[in-house]
């Protein structure tokens, strides 16, 4: 009843977005910047943006999220934000001493046309940037794309600012992950490590936004990829981009700027996609897949074979970010589930829509971009009710109204823990995700079973 | 009063903090960090407040849009609210503030779970977004048929010059039975959320309050509560108590509220104000236009609640009401006293610091005091001098460029509907007997000498404060929460209540006592240090073979 005003009949809307399936660029840029060691994200605009982005990430991770802001008032909006930015740089280095300030723009600074490149050059000219420190920026206007676009733009800016080709190749493989949880970043590193591969991965938010409690506050937690490693990625012998929408611009840039040949893969979610990732790593690194990885794979396949009856043929709806959604779609297909709807507010492009359709078949409704929202998804679900919904916290209203379980796999998750500690990528993440799905269906079966059908062993 | 040496230690601390700042900033912060000293019962030092945030500072503040859409209008369930701008602002103000609402029936409108935005794209930023806003209103009308629509402008909308008010007027002409109004609450207005509160108050006053002369709830003693947003069900608890006393709560601005309650809010005899900062403008304007007197109350804390109830009863000068009120207080205080005394035995003497919003940093000191917790420092995110020093300083507050951008309405008595609820003579008489109208004494007179009052406290200062004074408890917002907790100090969110509540009224007081008891005395924070962290490393060898 909480969404009682959402009618079943779908009418076309062109102007009104209701319950968005996306948010704006800077929050994604801020998240990417947090994955760089000793980096302070800075929001160039009025302070509300920074407050909202910090709050969103803080609620999602239950961790301190540090970021500064240029704090525009009306004056700066009229006369330009240069003096606020210059003052910010000075104050930030004086008070917080980061190695890198990663500036993201906002609607406001984009519309007034602040030229950050010029402002940063000016700061350098005025000796406001201490030696060895970097101020970099990504253009992240909120009227284009979504938080995933912002992540992609900041990741490109990181490549642009730090990756350098010296002419001498090293033996590392660079891994660029899309917008995923710190737990997923750890899992990807785990696979590379088990395979004995030398790698450089960035951004890496593990040990930053899922840091342990040790009785101290660390402005810059121990995690995050160092500037030096990112520099070396320009010399890496090969790169792998995991995900497409959130990584493609950065992968392309690393290729064109540093001539690092880059394979673009899907996020390793589920068996098929993880197989591709492991196989690609094996081939380009020239290693044999170790027994430990085979064991992890075997456990996931084992559980799926044992309990496939509880997932096979089940109908699901998916909401989230495009790269994760593609992975989840593959995961559902691996498990024999039928995907009815795939919705993301991120404009993922016609190619993405087509690939999802190719994967899942014409029976699946795929919608992405500014017109795709949760109001529409709820309408679709009222017309063709699924057994399960994957999505962010805001989907809980739909799940309650439809009386179906919700598995939280997207951004933001404000009401459950676990996503930052337990992955959904790799074979171990796949096992974790599969068990969540099985629990949801088996709990449901127990709840709904008449007494004579209530089974002890399932 | 604290001993004199404590005073020198806070002075010292202030000096140390300021040393790290560049000189210009140190000078400004020196006027915003004040060592409290109360003389003649309520003369306090001057504090600088409501000034620009220092660029580059990690601040606790938000923006005007957050104050307008998020705080003041957000909690009203049946005003359909459209954010005009790119998607972010609308997304972030979607349900995160915990304003609970309870429609009277399943058929009542409730748009709280819907976030509506024009989701402006690059083209519309270049060519203007008014057309899209008009279309969005039309689509909203077709889908929801609401009574009222509020439109909220975001930063880029102000810059590209979309006239949200013209769109609202045009759409209202097209749909005459729907009240459509817009707010110029662009994020860059003013210096904090406070600007947005003012913008919201002005528009609610001109376009909503006073629209319906016919509706009135039954009852003899009708009043409105202004500045109560029903976080965690606070308004539900207040509604329960005042109803038991025999009062009629006509409308709450704006927790658990409806459009009809707002539009007819001028048909009552009294306004009481909870959050002075966010809504004193509306109280003041309703007094001038309709003759409704107002005074400040506080339903946070059992003592505060009793005091406020007594003052409301006293206002109506009715013996029966006074008796009923006393009976409710007596009844409720039995359980309150039991829990309070038990909790106090474990919390007495602990120290707290509070950096929250407008009035909460003040109100919650009462609750903490009731269980013996001492507040050693407090401050507001977006207050003005009157919130610290009391309303008597209002005439001396200088209007700077940032405040001048917020419209100040000139209000006159409504020729037809101005009706002084009590005559000027009666008012003067009561005032001479000590009954205060249009009052607020501010936070500083209520705090001990030598406590630190910090306006617009930032991350760096909070950290220094924790290092120096090691408080047992911090109360602030979500951005500060984990910064504090990583150190092993429990932190209570006073914007969202950490998803608990209510904390207002009597049941709320009990909830809060228990919650503070849990925070100060539970085991969780004692695990912060591992056993091997607290003892020096030992090295030893077996001496078996010696």
- Give the minimum alpha-carbon distance from B164 to chain A in angstroms, rounded to a whole number: 15
DSSP bridge pairs for A225 = A36
Q: Which of B119, B137, B158, B160 to mutate to test the interface with A (most CBs of A within 10 A)?
A: B119
* Best CA proximity match to B494, nearest among B386, B369, B398, B379: B379
Average pLDDT over residues B363-371: 98
Query: Are A387 and A418 part of one and the same domain?
Result: yes
CA distances from B478 to A157, B2, B509 (A): 29, 31, 22
**Terminal Cα distance for chain A, rounded:** 33
Q: Which of B26, B30, B97, B240 is catalytic?
A: B97
The residues of A annotated as belonging to the active site are 107, 111
Identify the domain containing residue A258 by its residue range: 170-292
> How many domains, in total, are found in chain A?
3
More confident residue, B541 or B455: B455
**pLDDT tens for each residue of B105-127:** 999 999 999 999 999 999 999 99
Give per-residue pLDDT as tens, A316-354: 999 999 999 999 999 999 999 999 999 999 999 999 999
Angle in degrees, CA A49, B463, B98, rounded to 5: 45
Residues A73 and A203 reside in one and the same domain:
no
Q: What percentage of chain B has pLDDT greater than the value 70?
A: 97
- Residue A15 belongs to some domain of the structure: no
Same domain, A323 and A277: no
Note whether A52 contacts B66, CB cutoff 8 Å.
yes
Count contacts between A and B (CB, < 8 Å).
261
> Are A193 and A116 in the same domain?
no
Q: What is the pLDDT of residue B7?
A: 65
| Residues A264 and A330 reside in one and the same domain | no
Question: Would the CB atoms of B121 and A143 count as touching at under 8 Å?
Answer: yes
Which residue of A217, A345, A401, A413 to mutate against B (max B Cβ within 10 Å)?
A217
Q: Which residue from B minimizes the CA distance to A58?
A: B479
Confidence of residue B358 (pLDDT cuts 50, 70, 90): confident
Domain annotation for chain B: domains and CATH numbers: 1-60+337-404+439-530 (3.40.50.1980), 64-208 (3.40.50.1980)
Closest chain B residue to the Cα of A15, Cα to Cα: B136
**Which of B59, B116, B124 has its CB closest to that of A16?**
B116
State which of A161, A185, A218 marks the end of a domain.
A161
pLDDT at B3 over 70: no
Query: Is residue B542 pLDDT above 80, yes or no?
Result: no
Whether B246 contacts B267, CB under 8 Å: no
In a domain, A19, yes or no: no
User: CB–CB of A106 and B479 under 8 A?
Assistant: no
Of the candidates A62, A72, A215, the beta carbon closest to that of B188 is on A72
Under an 8 A CB cutoff, do B89 and A52 touch? yes
The 10s digit of each residue's pLDDT in A21-75 is: 999 999 999 999 999 999 999 999 999 999 999 999 999 999 999 999 999 999 9
pLDDT in tens, B154-205: 999 999 999 999 999 999 999 999 999 999 999 999 999 999 999 999 999 9
Residue that the structure tokens 């799926």 belong to: A304
Chain B CB contacts of A96 below 8 Å: 58, 460
For residue B531, the model assigns a pLDDT of: 87
Q: What pLDDT is stored for residue B536 in this prediction?
A: 67
For the question of residue B459 being annotated catalytic, the response is no
Residue A99 lies in a domain: yes
Q: Is residue A20 part of a domain?
A: no
Rounded distance between C-alpha atoms, residue A405 and residue A436, angstroms = 11
* pLDDT one-digit tens code per residue, B71-107: 999 999 999 999 999 999 999 999 999 999 999 999 9
Give the pLDDT of residue B546.
53
User: pLDDT tens digit string along B253-262?
Assistant: 999 999 999 9
Among A164, A229, A163, A222, which residue's Cα sits nearest to residue A198?
A: A229
What is the DSSP-derived secondary structure letter of residue A204?
Answer: -
Which of A161, A187, A217 is the last residue in one of the domains?
A161
pLDDT tens column, B130-143: 999 999 999 999 99
Nearest to A91 among B57, B63, B144 (CB): B57
Query: Considering the domain boundaries, does residue A12 fall inside one?
Result: no
What gap in Å lies between CA A291 and CA B527, rounded to an integer? Answer: 38
pTM exceeding the 0.90 threshold for the entire prediction: yes
B188 chain-A contacts, CB cut-off 8 A: 46, 72-74, 76-77, 108
- In this complex, do B87 and A23 lie within 8 Å of one another by their Cβ atoms? yes
Is there a domain that residue A445 lies in?
yes
Across the interface, do A55 and B478 touch by the CB < 8 Å criterion? yes
Torsion angle in degrees (nearest 10) through CA of B391, B395, B398, B404: 90
Residue of A4, A44, A51 to mutate, testing the B interface (most B Cβ within 10 Å of its Cβ): A51
Give the pLDDT confidence of B452-509 residue by residue, as tens digits: 999 999 999 999 999 999 999 999 999 999 999 999 999 999 999 999 999 999 999 9
Q: Are B263 and B287 in contact (CB under 8 A)?
A: no
- Measure CA B290 to chain center: 25
Residue A317 domain-assigned? yes
For residue B545, what pLDDT is reported?
58
Query: Rounded mean pLDDT of B277-290?
Result: 98
Distance CA B197, CA B297 (A): 19
**A313 shares its domain with A400:** yes
**Among chain B residues, CA nearest to A87:** B55
Q: Do B139 and A67 touch (CB under 8 A)?
A: no
* pLDDT over 70 percentage in chain A: 100
- Contact list in A for residue B142 (CB cut-off 8 A) is 11
- How far apart (Å, rounded) are the C-alpha atoms in residues B497 and B500? 5
Question: What average pLDDT does range A403-417 have in this prediction?
Answer: 97
CA distance A95 to B464: 12
Residue that finishes a domain, picked among A292, A320, A347? A292
| Distance separating alpha carbons of residues B267 and B273, to the nearest angstrom | 17
pLDDT band at B534 (very low <50, low <70, confident <90, very high): confident
HSE at residue B80, side-chain half, CA atoms within 13 A, is 24
Question: Closest Cα of chain B to A238: distance in Å?
Answer: 36
Average pLDDT, chain A: 97
Q: Residue B4: pLDDT above 50? A: no
List helix spans (H) across B32-99.
Answer: 64-65, 87-92
pLDDT at B540 over 80: no
CB A29 within 8 A of CB A104: yes
What is d(CA B318, CA B322) in angstroms, rounded to the nearest whole number?
A: 6
Please tell me whether residues A216 and A313 are part of one structural domain: no
| Same-domain check for residues A182 and A205 | yes
A149 and A218 assigned to the same domain: no
Question: Quick one: closest CA in B to A346, which residue?
Answer: B87
Residues A154 and A271 in one domain: no
Q: For B26, which residue in chain A has the nearest alpha carbon?
A: A91
User: Which one of the listed residues B77, B197, B360, B362 is annotated catalytic?
Assistant: B197
Inter-chain CB proximity B483 and A62 less than 8 Å:
no
Q: Is A134 on the interface with B (CB under 8 A)?
A: no
Same structural domain, A153 and A175: no
> Are A141 and B122 a contacting pair at CB < 8 A?
yes
- Strands ordered across the beta sheet of A238-242: A199-201, A173-177, A238-242, A262-265
* Same domain as A344, residue A445: yes
Q: What is the pLDDT of residues A107-151, one digit of tens each?
A: 999 999 999 999 999 999 999 999 999 999 999 999 999 999 999
Which among B90, B92, B109 has the least Cβ separation from residue A56? B92
For the question of residue B197 being annotated catalytic, the response is yes
Domain CATH code at residue A95: 3.40.50.1980
Query: What's the rounded mean pLDDT across residues A418-445?
Result: 98
**Containing H/E element for B33?**
strand B33-35
Q: Which of A26, A50, A58 sits opposite B482 (nearest CB)?
A: A58
Distances (CA, A) of B163 to A124, B64, B121, B181: 40, 18, 17, 12
A458 assigned to some structural domain: no
């Amino acid at each position: 009843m909480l969404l009682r005003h959402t009618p079943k009949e779908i009418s076309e809307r062109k102007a009104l977005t209701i319950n968005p399936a996306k948010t704006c660029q800077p929050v994604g840029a801020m998240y990417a910047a947090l994955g760089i060691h000793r980096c302070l994200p800075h929001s160039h605009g009025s302070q509300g943006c920074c407050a909202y982005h910090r709050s969103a990430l803080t609620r999602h991770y239950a961790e301190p999220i540090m970021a500064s802001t240029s704090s525009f008032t009306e004056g700066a909006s009229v006369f330009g934000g240069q003096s606020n930015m210059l003052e910010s740089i000075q104050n930030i280095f004086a008070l917080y001493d980061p190695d890198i300030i990663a500036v993201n723009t906002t609607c406001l600074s984009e519309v007034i046309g602040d030229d950050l490149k010029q402002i940063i050059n000016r700061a350098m000219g005025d000796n406001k940037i201490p030696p060895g420190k970097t101020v970099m920026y990504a253009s992240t206007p909120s009227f284009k794309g979504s938080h995933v676009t912002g992540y992609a733009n900041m990741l490109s800016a990181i490549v642009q600012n730090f990756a350098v080709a010296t002419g001498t190749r090293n033996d590392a493989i660079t891994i660029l992950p899309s917008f995923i949880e710190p737990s997923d970043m750890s899992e990807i590193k785990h696979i590379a490590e088990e395979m004995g591969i030398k790698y450089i991965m960035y951004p890496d938010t593990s040990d930053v936004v899922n840091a342990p409690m040790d009785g101290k506050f660390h402005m810059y937690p121990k995690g995050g990829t160092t500037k030096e490693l990112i520099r070396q990625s320009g010399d890496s012998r090969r790169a792998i981009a995991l995900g497409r929408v959130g990584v493609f611009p950065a992968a392309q840039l690393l290729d064109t700027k540093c001539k690092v040949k880059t394979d673009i893969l899907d996020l390793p979610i589920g068996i098929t996609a993880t197989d591709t990732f492991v196989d690609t790593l094996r081939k380009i690194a020239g290693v044999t897949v170790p027994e430990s990885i085979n064991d992890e794979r075997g456990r996931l396949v084992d559980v799926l074979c044992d309990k496939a009856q509880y997932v096979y043929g089940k109908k699901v709806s998916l909401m989230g970010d495009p790269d994760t959604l593609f992975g989840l779609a593959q995961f559902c297909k691996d498990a024999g589930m039928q995907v009815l709807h795939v919705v993301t507010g991120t404009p993922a492009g016609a190619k993405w829509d087509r690939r999802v359709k190719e994967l899942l078949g014409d029976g699946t409704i795929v919608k992405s971009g500014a017109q795709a929202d949760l109001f529409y998804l709820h309408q679709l679900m009222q017309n063709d009710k699924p057994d399960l919904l994957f999505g962010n916290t805001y989907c809980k209203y739909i799940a309650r109204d439809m009386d179906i379980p919700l598995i939280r796999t997207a951004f933001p998750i404000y009401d459950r823990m676990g996503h930052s500690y337990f992955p959904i990528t790799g074979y171990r993440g796949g096992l974790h995700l599969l068990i969540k799905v099985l629990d949801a269906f088996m709990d449901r079966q127990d709840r709904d079973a008449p007494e004579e059908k209530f089974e002890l062993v399932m | 009063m604290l001993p004199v040496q404590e005073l020198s230690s806070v002075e010292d601390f202030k000096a140390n903090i300021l040393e790290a700042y560049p000189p210009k900033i140190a000078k400004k912060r020196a006027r915003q960090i004040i060592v409290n000293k109360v003389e003649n019962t309520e003369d306090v030092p001057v504090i600088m407040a409501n000034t620009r945030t220092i660029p580059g500072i990690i601040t606790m503040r938000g923006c005007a849009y957050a104050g307008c859409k998020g705080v003041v209008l957000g909690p009203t369930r049946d005003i359909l609210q459209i954010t005009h701008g790119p998607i972010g602002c609308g997304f972030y103000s979607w349900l995160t503030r915990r304003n609970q609402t309870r429609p009277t029936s399943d058929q009542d409108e409730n748009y709280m779970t819907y976030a509506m935005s024009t989701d402006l794209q690059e083209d519309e930023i270049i060519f203007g977004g008014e057309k899209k806003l008009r279309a969005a209103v039309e689509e909203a009308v077709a889908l929801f048929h609401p009574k009222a629509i509020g439109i909220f402008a975001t930063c880029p909308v102000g810059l590209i010059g979309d006239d949200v008010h013209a769109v609202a007027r045009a759409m209202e002409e097209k749909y005459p039975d729907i009240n459509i109004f817009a707010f110029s609450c662009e994020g860059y207005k003013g210096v904090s959320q406070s600007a947005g509160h003012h913008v919201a108050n002005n528009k609610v006053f001109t376009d909503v309050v006073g629209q319906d002369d016919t509706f009135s709830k039954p009852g003899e003693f009708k009043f409105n509560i202004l500045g109560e947003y029903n976080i965690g069900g606070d308004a539900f608890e207040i509604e329960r108590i005042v109803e038991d006393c025999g009062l009629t709560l006509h409308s709450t601005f704006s927790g658990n509220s409806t459009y009809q309650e707002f539009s007819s809010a001028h048909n009552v005899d009294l306004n009481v104000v909870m959050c002075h900062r966010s809504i004193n403008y509306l109280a003041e304007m309703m007094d001038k236009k309709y003759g409704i007197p107002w005074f400040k109350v506080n339903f946070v804390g059992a003592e505060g609640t009793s005091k406020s109830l007594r003052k409301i009863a006293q206002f109506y000068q009715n013996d029966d009401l006074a008796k009923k009120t006393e009976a409710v207080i007596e009844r409720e205080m039995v359980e309150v006293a039991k829990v309070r005394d038990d909790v106090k035995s474990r919390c007495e003497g602990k120290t707290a610091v509070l950096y929250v919003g407008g009035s909460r940093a003040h109100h919650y000191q009462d609750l903490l005091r009731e269980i013996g917790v001492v507040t050693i420092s407090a401050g507001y995110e977006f207050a003005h001098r009157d919130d610290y020093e009391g309303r008597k300083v209002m005439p001396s507050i200088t209007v700077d460029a940032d405040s001048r951008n917020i419209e100040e309405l000139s209000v006159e008595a409504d020729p037809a509907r101005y009706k002084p609820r009590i005559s000027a003579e009666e008012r003067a008489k009561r005032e001479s007997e000590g009954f205060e109208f249009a009052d607020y004494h501010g936070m500083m007179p209520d705090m001990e000498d030598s406590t630190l009052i910090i306006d617009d406290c930032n991350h760096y200062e909070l950290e220094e404060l924790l290092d120096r004074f090691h408080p047992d408890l911090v109360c602030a917002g979500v951005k500060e929460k984990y910064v504090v907790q990583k150190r092993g100090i429990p932190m209570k969110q006073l914007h969202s209540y950490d998803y608990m509540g209510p904390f207002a009224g009597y049941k709320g007081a009990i909830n809060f006592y228990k919650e503070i008891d849990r925070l100060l005395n539970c085991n969780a924070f004692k695990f912060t240090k591992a056993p091997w962290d607290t003892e020096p490393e030992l090295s030893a060898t077996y001496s078996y073979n010696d």
